[in-house]
Every structure is written in structure tokens, then in C-alpha cells.
Structure 1
């Protein structure tokens, strides 16, 4: 449990940290990768079986924040973006394409004829732009996470690999203390990197760290093993939205695996609103399909189980309450036997019986006596 003093210090540190210089007035080089207008169904859509999950929940009422490169809200499937914050002073649009793809995986709404939709299409999105380039600034990332908490986010997606910095660690701890689920990419291994170092904030305790998996549910070769991984999600051959009302296919990396988990978190928080952030993380790990090897954690996420499984640990068995005893006046005492009344009733019953017998005799004997003239009857001999 995080103390109140630490929470206060966290906020003070993050707010007091000056924004990086050189951002104000910077001209944005807005040239996102060109997308395509025609796409096929990706293996990730089939693997996660989202239509079955949507029978139970679609993430309604949950606020999701992404701290990324902005979002192109002109895309027809990104109608759930409710607020855009720009920390770069370059405009809230997405000139990289990264944030738009992340947003689509989380909250992309269904569109007839398009074989793609986000994991939680009825969740609402807050876009916090912290970079206008491939690589962002750690202090802006920390400010973005803080701003997401202040705006009431239920889950924050960080598809960014950053170094360990005190302000970043502090603001993540603050988010967790405010019951916010933090989901982060575990990082990628590239040919330039060689052996990778842990990625932050994914490596911080309490963060849902996400590795990338391929169609065989195995860890992708590009997914880092240096960062502790909580679960895997589709991170190879991924399809999502792109600026310019387009789409991109064959996306790869933990950056695109993390939003799948963020979407599942939104579904769980909508279906089980009483669970705190720790219980939500635990549920997602326990319902995953099982990992095998370093960097796989609990294995591939299972959205249907995550929202529908009954976990005994979440419902503590409680013995039924003892029945409340009735008040003394509610139970009437047995009446005391009245001997005189019993005797009178007995005599009345006896007299009534005798009277009934006499009445029968009168009806039978008197007519018979009249017919005989009241003479005694004769008894015949036995011979």
C-alpha cells in the first residue's frame, strides 16, 4: 500500500518537473506512413473471438487513456475519442501513425464491411500526445500519465519503451494508488539493439507488462525477454487504423500487443466494476492460456475467460448468518388446562349421546308397541 505522503510527493514531483524546452512552436513534420483502404481479417481478430465476448460486455462506461503520438479522429472507426490533449505544442493530430493504430486496437468501432474492430468498442478514449516523433521525452511521458489520472482514466496504455527515471516511477506509483490499471509494452529487440535492456514503465511493479506473440501463441522473436512479462497478446501481423481514414497491416511489436491487453482491461472493468486494479490484473493473468519459456508470462490473453471466469478467490465463502431469534412475545405460551371446563364439556357430550340414543328408541319402539297393542311378544318353541 502506498502512503499518503508518497502520493503527495509523487504529484508534487510530476507537476513541478518542467516540460522539456524546445517543444513550443515546433513545426510538426506530419508525414505518417501511407495506409491501405482494403484489408482482410487478421488472425488476431479470429484468435480473440471478440464477438462472443461482446455478448457480455463491450467496455461501456470505461475511460481509456493512451499516452502516445496523438490520434487522427477523422477515421470513421475512431468515434469514441472523447478528448485529446497535446503536450508537445504541435497539434493533437497524429503525424507518426503510432497512436492512431494503438487507439484502433482498443476502441475501434464496428464498421459494416470492414473485418476489423477494437477490443472494447464502447469504451471511451482520452488521447494524450507526448511525442511527435518515433522517440518521446520521458518527462512528457510522466506528465501524460499524470494527466490521464487527473482526467479519471480507468486504464492507461503506454506503448512506449523508456528508461528508468524517478519521475516516471513516481507517477506510475501514483496511478496505481488511484486504482488505475497501467498497461505497458515490454519492448522490442531489434538488430540495432542486440541484447535489450528492461523497458519502463513495463518493468515497474504493478504494471501489466505485455509481450508480443504470433499466430502460434508463442513469443515473437522481436519481443523482449529482458523485461518481466505479465501476459502475451497479438504482436505480429497486426491490423489497425491509420491516419487518413486508412488501415495498416502487418504491424509488429509489443507496442501493438499492449493495446490488446488494454482493451481486455476495459472489458473486465466494465463487467466487474467492483474489482480494484490489482484484482483486474490478477484476473487477466489467471485467465490467460499459459506461457512457456522466458518472456511469455502467463501466456496469451483470453478475453472471454477474463470477463466470464468465476474465480473463487474473488468471492470469499462466508458462512450464512445465524437466524435471528424471535422475540419472546412472538411465541404464545401453551394455555393452562381448565379442569372445570373439561368436565362440563364431557358431561355435555355424554348427555348429548344419551339423548340421541333415546331419540332412536322412541322412533323405533313406540310405533312397534302400538302395533302390538302394547302386548309382550311370544317366543316360539324349539321343536
Structure 2
């Protein structure tokens, strides 16, 4: 079991990153191990002396053989259908998190550049950033018996690290990492963490938007005993940021998903599988993991529609989502294929009557499959009825004549010209 406590006040974003591939618990309280990195509400000190860099005990993960079936999130989103159109080539996605293990077999060669706002090491000592990166960009290795794949396997990644552990008291580091990512070419910036509303964070988000970078942020988690006392999470609550809630395998909003945060869409966030260390972790839960699914979809859209602005990409994702299913679900589950391929007015207002997809393929019902058993029975009955009819007709012709002759054999009459 990894890590310790993440401290971030009321805006804490915690999750469970169990090493076993078993379903995780329904709630993710802030004092559970494996929490996502967050920024503290405490103001940053003007002058601080950095502590020595902690020893980086990289996570190990389980082997790919531990994944015995296709992960449910892949089946549910079916993003491979969108791969017929694009796999994200040409788009750069920044992972603003705890770092990325660039040596993971499914992430090798994907990290284009790294930045460490924490002043420690770009490596991922916590494991959370690598889990997020895998959901976004893990290469397709199913030919080598690895069932897990990322949403957009052909994107490039920027490793924008702001936390060396599960928490940071310097709430300027998240803003620095976002700004660096925007200034280094990220078209999508994934922020799977929650922080308080600060001037530095607001300015970082505005900087990203001026660079036409789309920020995707986790809505935040709430422990059951804090339900009703939660506060909005940032940057998810800022205007122009795609805010993502978590759902379970039934499509129901997770009990830990923050309702105080403004919600745009939802995505899988319970019992999720992803990359960890050089292996894999299962039983992951948290809005931390819903966000990278949405970031992957945003990357696919940006690859297919490169002329759209970040806000137009958000509009496509919202308009093509499956529809809300209760409090905290926003416009509903993301729909990768529809987001990429549907005919949508990119300037329409999501949720308006005229904002629905303008068209697309018209479904044509397939013919019902042939029921060979029924057909065989029908042919047998028809054949039997025909045979019975022939028997009746024959009997109707023969029986009266037999009665007239007293059932004596008839005599053959030889024509005269044939008589001797």
C-alpha cells in the first residue's frame, strides 16, 4: 500500500490506488493512502528553504498478466471506434501531476519534455502521475497480451511535475506547472488535483487559455463524512476549464464525486486500471482518473479538428456527451466517437435545443437472422401436408371404382390394330 495522507483542506482530492486488481471501496477519504497531489490552502511563505529531496522509491506495480479481462472503462467508452479516424497524432498533452515514469513499456518515447516545479526530480515517486499518463496515452500493446490501452496512444506528453509527494504547502507550484505546460506547446493540460482559488492559479489558467490550451480538471473527491461540507475544487470550477466527475461501472455518479464543483461531463472513475511503475495498478478510484479519460478524448478531437479553439473543443465534448443522469453528472458520460465524428456547430451553446449533433450516419436496421430450426420445421410440415393431400386425392379416385367392380381386378383391353 502506498503513500500517506494528502493535506489540502476542504479542497482535498483523494483516491485509492490499490495494488490488487479488485474493486475499490465506494469512498476515498482524504486520509487513505495513494491520494492525488493537491495544493494546500495555507499561503505560501515568501522565503522558504527547500528541504532535501526525498528518496524516490518508485512504485513497482503488478505484471500485465494480472489484467485478465479488458478493463471495463475501455469497453464502456469504446474509444477504439474513434481510432479509425484518429489516435491523437500531432497533439501534445501535459500531465500536471507528481511526474511520469517515462520508462514504462507503454509510455516509452512519449514524454517530449519535463519540468519539475517542486525542485526535486521529474521522476514519479508517488505513482499518481504515471497512472494518469497511462489512461491518456498508453501504447497499444495488445499484440503482446496487454489488454490495457490509453485513449489517445499517439499523443506526445509533457511531464509537468508540481508535487514530490502527496501534498505541497506551496500553492504556487501548481500554477507554475500549468504555465510551463501552456508555454511549451501543450494543447491539452490534464490537472488531476484540486487546489484553493488563488490569484496565481487564476492567472495560470488565463495564460493557458491565451495559448489556446484546453485544461481538463478533476472535480474533486469528498469523503462520506464530509458530504454537505465540501467546497468547490479549482481549477475545475473556473470558466473555460473542462470539469470531470467520476462514475462507476453502472454509469452512476460515484459517491465521492464533488457536487459543489461545477461539473461539465463524467467519465469512469471507479475500479480503474492504469500504468504504475513498470507495471500496472487496479482498483483505482477518484475523479483523478475520470479527468484523463476526458483529456484523451479532447486530444482526439484536437487531432481531428485542429482549427477549433479550446472552447470549441469543449463545446463538442459537451454537446456529444450522453446526457446527464442526476446531480453532479453535468452533460453526462463522454462519448469519444461522437466527439470526434459528429456534425456539430462548434459555436452552439451546449444544452440548447439547437446544439444537438446536426447529422451523421443514419442507422439502418439489419434483417433479422434466419431461424434455421423454425424454417426446418415449417418445411417439414408443408411437405407432410402435400403428401397427405396426394394420398387423399388418390384415394378419392381409386376407392369408388373399386367398389363398382366389387374389388375385382380389372381387365386390360388390347386395341384392335394390335390384336393378332
TM-score range, shorter chain: 0.7 to 0.9
More displaced stretch, 89-98 vs 54-63: 89-98
Equivalent residues of 1:61, 1:270 under 8 A apart? yes
Query: Does 2:250 match 1:250?
Result: no
Matches within 5 A, 1:1-383: 21-23=48-50, 25-30=52-57, 32=59, 34-37=61-64, 38-39=66-67, 40-79=69-108, 80-111=110-141, 112=143, 113-136=145-168, 137-191=170-224, 193-194=226-227, 195-243=229-277, 245-312=278-345
| Cα distance change of structure 1 residues 306 and 131 upon mapping to structure 2, 3 Å threshold | same
CA distance in 1, matches of 2:47, 2:86: 41
CA distance in 1, matches of 2:156, 2:45: 30
More displaced stretch, 24-33 vs 106-115: 24-33
Equivalent residues of 1:88, 1:132 under 8 A apart? yes
Secondary structure, aligned partner of 2:104:
coil
CA distance in 2, matches of 1:205, 1:55: 32
How many residue pairs get matched?
298
| Cα distance change of structure 1 residues 173 and 57 upon mapping to structure 2, 3 Å threshold | same
Equivalent residues of 1:36, 1:248 under 8 A apart? no
Equivalent residues of 1:224, 1:295 under 8 A apart? yes
CA distance in 2, matches of 1:238, 1:87: 28
| Cα distance change of structure 1 residues 266 and 97 upon mapping to structure 2, 3 Å threshold | same
TM-score, normalised with respect to structure 1? 0.74
CA distance in 1, matches of 2:309, 2:88: 16
- Structure 1: gaps spanning 5 or more residues: 1-16, 316-383
Q: What's the CA shift for 1:191?
A: 3.8
CA distance in 2, matches of 1:209, 1:94: 24
Cα deviation code 1:62-94 (max 9, x no counterpart): 010011000111110002122221222221111
- Structure 2: gaps spanning 5 or more residues: 1-43, 349-420
Cα deviation code 1:350-380 (max 9, x no counterpart): xxxxxxxxxxxxxxxxxxxxxxxxxxxxxxx
Equivalent residues of 2:313, 2:346 under 8 A apart? no
Q: What's the CA shift for 1:42?
A: 1.1
CA distance in 2, matches of 1:148, 1:46: 31
